[in-house]
Amino acid sequence: MMDRSAGSVQKTLLDRVHLVGIGGAGMSGIARILLDRGNEVSGSDAKESPTLLTLRAQGARVAVGQSAANLDLFDGGPSSVVVSSAIKPDNPELVAAKARGLTVLHRSEALAALMDGHRVACVAGTHGKTSTTSMLTVALQHCRLDPSFAIGGDLNESGANAHHGVGGIFVAEADESDGSFLAFTPSVAVVTNVEADHLDHHGTVEAYHAIFESFVDRIAEGGVLVACVDDPGSAALALLAEARGVRVRRYGRAAADVTMTDYRPVDGAGVATVLLDGAETEVRVAVPGEHMALNAIGALITGLELGAPLDGLLEGIAGFGGVRRRFEFKGRAGGVRVYDDYAHHPTEVAAQLRAARPAAHGGRLVVIFQPHLYSRTQLFAAEFGAALSLADEVVVLDVYGAREQPVPGVNGRVVADAITLPAERVHYEPSFERVPALVASVAADGDIVLTMGAGDVTMLGPELIAALERRVQV
C-alpha cells in the first residue's frame, strides 16, 4: 500500500493514466470508468484478450507485452501510472515510471479517487462479495439510481464489470486479499463473512482478521456496517464495530435485525422469507442456493440504507441474472448440462455444491476442480476434500499457481486423496487434454458437469460440451 490517504490523490493525476496489467478484473474496471469520464487511458497486458478489445473500442491505447516504451502510447505520456499488487518491482513500465518521476498509484488509490464526491457502498468478505456487489448494483439500477460501480466480475445483464453513473452513488467490491480496501471510506460497509484466506499475504489468521477490524475504522462518520451474523467472524466484527461507535445492521438466519426465516429452492432459483421491520417479505433470487439468498439480503439492506425503495430493490434482485463464472450455464449436450463456477475456497465449494444439488433434479454432480495457489492447497487440502465429497464424481486437476512458485509435494493429488468418495469416483488428472474424454465417459443423461476454480479451468467448458456431443453422435 502507498502512504497517501484515500482522499489525497489529485483528480488531475487521473487525466492521463497508464495502467499496467489493464486487462485484469480490477484494472479494466478503473479503465472503463476513466474512459467514460473522458480521460486519456493507455495500458498494457501480458496477452491479448476480449477485455483489451473492448477497452480499445472505448478509446484506450493498449499494448500487448510490457515495455518502458508503452509509457508513450499517447503523446506527452501519462500524468500517473496505476499498478496492482500483482505488479513486481522490476516490471519495466514501473521502473521507467519511477525513473521519469511519474506518480505511481496503487489500484485501490485510483479507485478511491474515482469515488470522490459519491456516497460509497463497499462490499467486503472472504466469500460472496462479487455476487453481493452485483446484486446491489442491479437492484439500484432497477430503481433508476444509475450507480457507478466497480466489481470483480462481469454482470450478465451488461457484460461489464464497471460503469460511470450519474446517480451520486458508487458501489464497489472491496478486496481484502492485500489489504487494499483500507484506501476506501464507505458510507455503507458490507461484510459477508470473515474466514481465513490469503495467508500468503497476511501471514496469520489473526492478521487476516485484524485487517477487517481496520476496515471498520474506515467507515465514514455516521455510516453503517451491514454484517452477516451467521458467520462467526462477521458477527464478532459487528460487536467490535458497535463498541467503536459504528451503527450496525445485522442479517442472517437468527438473532438479526433482518432475519431469513425460511428458504426454498424453486426451479433452479430460490425464495427466501425475510422478517424485515416486523413484517414478512419474500425475496426472490434468480440464482440458486441459501448462500445466494443471504447475499441478496445483504444487498437489500444496503440498498435501503442508500435510500432506495423496498419494492424496487426486491424487483431488481428478483431479476438479477447472475455474474459470469458464478454457476454460469455454459451449454448442454446429450442430456448433460455444463456449468462453470469461480469457487476456490472450501467454504465456497461446499456452498455451491449444496446449491447445485436441487438444480440437478435427481441427476449426479460431476465436478472438475482446479486448486488455486499452492499455499491455499497446502493449508486447506483436507477441507477441500470434505467439500468435494458432496459431489458424486470428482476430477481434480493440478494446482493453478498464479503468482506463486511450486511447493514440493503440493499438487492436485493431495486434494484428491482427501476426498471420501469411493476411489473409482475420484480422478486425479494433471493433463487438461485428457479431461474432456474422461468426463464424457463418466457423465450420464441428467447429470450436471461443473468446472470449479479461480484459474484456467474455465476454459474447459467448450471442450467438455464438444466431447459430450461426440459421444452422442457415436
Tens-digit pLDDT profile for residues 224-255: 999 999 999 999 999 999 999 999 999 999 77
Nearest to 394 by CA among 431, 435, 342, 362: 435
User: 176's torsion region: left (phi>0), alpha (psi -120 to 50) or beta?
Assistant: alpha
Enumerate the active-site residues: 129-130, 173
DSSP class of residue 68 equals: G
Nearest to 103 by CA among 198, 178, 199, 13: 13
Domain 328-473 in the same topology as domain 11-109: no
Q: What is the pLDDT of residue 3?
A: 45
Q: What is the pLDDT of residue 387?
A: 93
CA dihedral 456, 459, 460, 462 (to 10 degrees): 170
Query: First vs last Cα of the chain: how many Å apart?
Result: 57
Q: Are strands 169-173 and 188-191 parallel, antiparallel or unpaired?
A: unpaired
- Mean pLDDT of the region 107-136: 91
Separation between Cα atoms, residue 133 and residue 143, nearest integer Å: 15
- Mean pLDDT of the region 372-394: 93
Q: What are phi and psi of 331, to 5 degrees?
A: 155, 175
Contacts of 197 (CB under 8 A, 6+ apart): 126, 177, 208, 345, 376
pTM of the model: 0.74
Per-residue pLDDT tens over the stretch 248-291: 999 999 778 999 999 998 877 889 999 998 899 999 998 888 88
Fold of 328-473: Protein-Tyrosine Phosphatase; Chain A (3.90.190)
- Look up the CATH number of domain 117-318: 3.40.1190.10
Q: Are strands 336-341 and 328-333 parallel, antiparallel or unpaired?
A: antiparallel
Domains of the chain by residue range: 11-109, 117-318, 328-473
Whether 375 shows a pLDDT value over 70: the answer reads: yes
Comparing 71 with 204, the larger pLDDT belongs to 71
Confidence of residue 156 (pLDDT cuts 50, 70, 90): very low
- Mean pLDDT of the region 390-401: 94
| Domain 11-109: which CATH number of 3.40.640.10, 3.40.50.720, 3.20.20.140, 3.40.50.300 | 3.40.50.720
